[in-house]
Chains A and B, each alone.
Chain A
């Protein structure tokens, strides 16, 4: 049976504006994170992800509610709770004029480490983030990806049970991004750490997470595994057939909807007429179906029988983006 490591109840955070009015950034968040899982908090910018995590990590005091880490209340036993947690902020929270090793040493001491134990951990972390050969270089000479890796390394130094990462892949190249995502998976699989990961990138959340919490306007609007969430909202596959400038008339659309099992809607987006580029983007026949891959052969057969030439076929399976769209009526990137 899994054990709960993080338990948040009724977290509320209210900020005062300059004009004296109040804004509630987080509106009563409840959250449970199990030991050894990667839990993603997914939401658009400004949804309240960072504020929620700032309260859990002890950076901000909650206006109401409390969170416990390993049974220690972050408001009543903050020092014990903080010892169990490593934090990797979105910002590069490092001293630029210090070397990678000096940064690790400084923040290690902030966790009460020292002497041989600290030196050994620094070596291990430098190995993990693959920066042993650059350990004595000043951080401000590093690339963005290397800084991100040191940023992560600092959070891992004291072997925390829970590591919190706030959008750790923001602003870096695909190669370094891949490296960081792999590191996150290693932390769970090899080091048995619990990872609390916030992101606004649906793909990352979907790839990494055991469970996902979707947050919007300061509230958790859905929580569960990726599969659970998709099932919860009843999202369907989208079958997209590109037919170019050919017309798909209402009779054909009706035939598709009535003769293929599981199809719920058929939409034709005609091609734009004015320019070459617009013409290239239109001419899509979009068929929504509960079991898209099963319906696809029958769909192709009907379209061929109607004398239309199919230029390409795409099966779009439902994702967290679709879940968010379904729940809020907005795209994650809006």
Chain B
């Protein structure tokens, strides 16, 4: 218990010394906020206007379709729900399609942001078709496409309501995103989800219509006779109900989690800048061990009845907490700036609070870990600061703090070495309403813990500490 109190005493002093220095506060908080805001304004992304277009997408439609809607099997309505996705994304596909339901042609899909600006889905995406899912995924991995939409063979079957198949339980459509892109896979995912939802809505309408007709036919023999003799004349046009032509896809509102999606460069640059500056803070914080050694305050702690590991843990906790406080304030700051730009309160990073908290904690852990290992490897505080600055700059560049990492093309995999990349990508996903950040959180937690452990081991072995 006494040792825990000592850990906190050391950590508190670290934070006190940091947060009572105006110059440090300016670097930690003002710099990233100002830089990211300027960059996002310069690239016109501050107001939430869609700035994305021609997102490269590949679609693989494996859907076998269904043919049981019509009463007359000779004139059965071939219905392929997967083709609806193809028609929505690929220009001209509807005209060439035999599998699409009658009337699907001309059901133009539009994308709306805030209901004011409408963009054709054809403008937003640049979609092509492939037959092989593996080839599609490989092309995404190589960075050729932002995402691959792979529609399973039983998709139509799984969502189609009939008397024989009264369960509407859709087989998931796979959206295989390029992990190198922070926003666009999320956009595609939200559109696919949106179309799927509309298909389900249409199915519910079909089910209700057919059930109503059957019930009425059972109750009213005259109507039943007419219904039974209708035969091939019963060809209801449900197509537009499925395509979403009657309901524009509002990409701000239709996401997997039902949350807002922002096309905002402030998200990408801001999150990268925040993690980048957190690395600087972590390096400086960790280097305080070496400063303490130079000032003999470390030796003074060592000659007190305080185990060496307690001193190091205190330093680690201090660095971690300082970085965490910085990240929290920066992400709140970006939210405020974005809200001011948009003229309304907007939760820039979404409202998945548990994911946000976990991501903040693991990002702070990873940044602090990088700082600690830098200090452990250096002999002096000056050397630690220089090495820390170089590492921070490299990670910042690779992580998208200064430019979009897609610019690196096939070398984009290098960016995976940067915790800025892992952190900012996850924050961008959250901002896009995509809660699939488990991999990022796991990586950040593991790298942070590993670096902490290694630096603790090095410090503990060093005779001069």
Contact = CB atoms under 8 A, between A and B. Distances in A.
Interface in B1-59: 2, 5-6, 9, 13, 16-17, 20-21
Contact of B299 (A93, A109, A112, A114): A93
Contact of B2 (A78, A92, A95, A112): A112
B21 to A, nearest CB: 7
A110 B306 CA distance: 6
B398 to A, nearest CB: 35
A102 B268 CA distance: 42
B9 to A, nearest CB: 5
Nearest to A93: B296
Contacts of A58: 302-303
B116 interface: no
Interface in A82-126: 82-83, 85, 87, 89, 91-98, 106-107, 109-112, 114
Contacts of B343: none
B237 interface: no
Contact of A89 (B5, B9, B20, B296): B296
A154 interface: yes
Nearest to B298: A93
Contacts of B6: 109-110, 112
A57 B305 CA distance: 11
Most buried by A among B21, B299, B302, B304: B304
- Among A95, A96, A107, chain B packs the most CB atoms within 10 A around the CB of A95
A118 to B, nearest CB: 11
Contacts of B231: none
Contact of A93 (B2, B297, B305, B463): B297
Given A79-B305, A95-B13, A87 B300 contact: yes
B302 to A, nearest CB: 6
B295 interface: yes
Contacts of B21: 97
A interface bracket (residues with beta carbon within 8 Å of B): 20 to 34
Contacts of B13: 95, 98, 106
B92 interface: no
Nearest to A53: B303
Contacts of A306: none
A95 B307 contact: no
B303 to A, nearest CB: 5
Interface SS, B side: helix
B301 interface: yes
B305 A87 contact: no
Given A110-B9, A114-B5, A59 B299 contact: yes
B9 A93 contact: no
A97 B9 contact: no
Interface residues on B, range: 20 to 34
Contacts of B9: 106, 109-110
A82 B304 contact: yes
Given A95-B17, A106-B13, A112 B305 contact: yes
A286 to B, nearest CB: 44
A92 B304 contact: no
A122 to B, nearest CB: 15
A243 to B, nearest CB: 52
Contacts of A110: 6, 9, 300-301, 304-306
Nearest to B21: A97
A94 B17 CA distance: 13
A60 B463 CA distance: 8
B308 to A, nearest CB: 10
A76 B304 CA distance: 15
A107 B299 contact: no
Contact of A82 (B299, B303, B463): B303
A140 B368 CA distance: 29
Contacts of B297: 93-95
A82 B296 contact: no
Nearest to B300: A93
A83 B305 CA distance: 6
A93 B297 CA distance: 5
Interface string A168-200: 000000000000000000000000000000000
Contacts of B304: 82, 107, 110-111
Most buried by A among B2, B21, B301, B303: B303
Contacts of A79: 305, 307
B303 A59 contact: yes
A91 B5 CA distance: 27
Contacts of A107: 300-301, 304
Nearest to B292: A95
Contacts of A89: 296, 299-300
B20 to A, nearest CB: 7
Interface string A55-74: 00111100000000000000
Contact of A57 (B20, B295, B303, B306): B303
B219 to A, nearest CB: 84
Interface string B287-331: 000000001110111111111000000000000000000000000
A201 B402 CA distance: 59
Interface string B393-406: 00000000000000
A93 B295 contact: yes
A283 to B, nearest CB: 49
A89 B21 CA distance: 27
Interface string A250-266: 00000000000000000
Nearest to B310: A110
Contacts of B17: 95, 97-98
Contact of B5 (A83, A94, A109): A109
Nearest to A94: B297
A112 B5 CA distance: 9
Contacts of B2: 112
Nearest to A80: B305
Contacts of B5: 109, 114
Contacts of A97: 17, 20-21
B153 to A, nearest CB: 68
A79 to B, nearest CB: 4
Nearest to A106: B13
Contacts of B301: 107, 110
21 contacts: A57-B303, A59-B299, A80-B305, A82-B303, A83-B305, A85-B303, A89-B296, A92-B296, A93-B295, A93-B297, A93-B299, A94-B297, A95-B295, A97-B17, A98-B13, A107-B304, A110-B6, A110-B304, A110-B306, A111-B305, A112-B2
Interface of A: 57-60, 78-80, 82-83, 85, 87, 89, 91-98, 106-107, 109-112, 114, 154
Interface of B: 2, 5-6, 9, 13, 16-17, 20-21, 295-297, 299-307, 463
Given A87-B300, A97-B17, 15 more contacts: A59-B299, A59-B302, A85-B303, A91-B296, A93-B299, A94-B295, A94-B297, A95-B297, A96-B295, A106-B13, A107-B304, A111-B304, A111-B305, A112-B2, A112-B6
The 5 closest A-B pairs by CB, nearest first: A93-B296, A91-B296, A110-B304, A93-B300, A82-B305
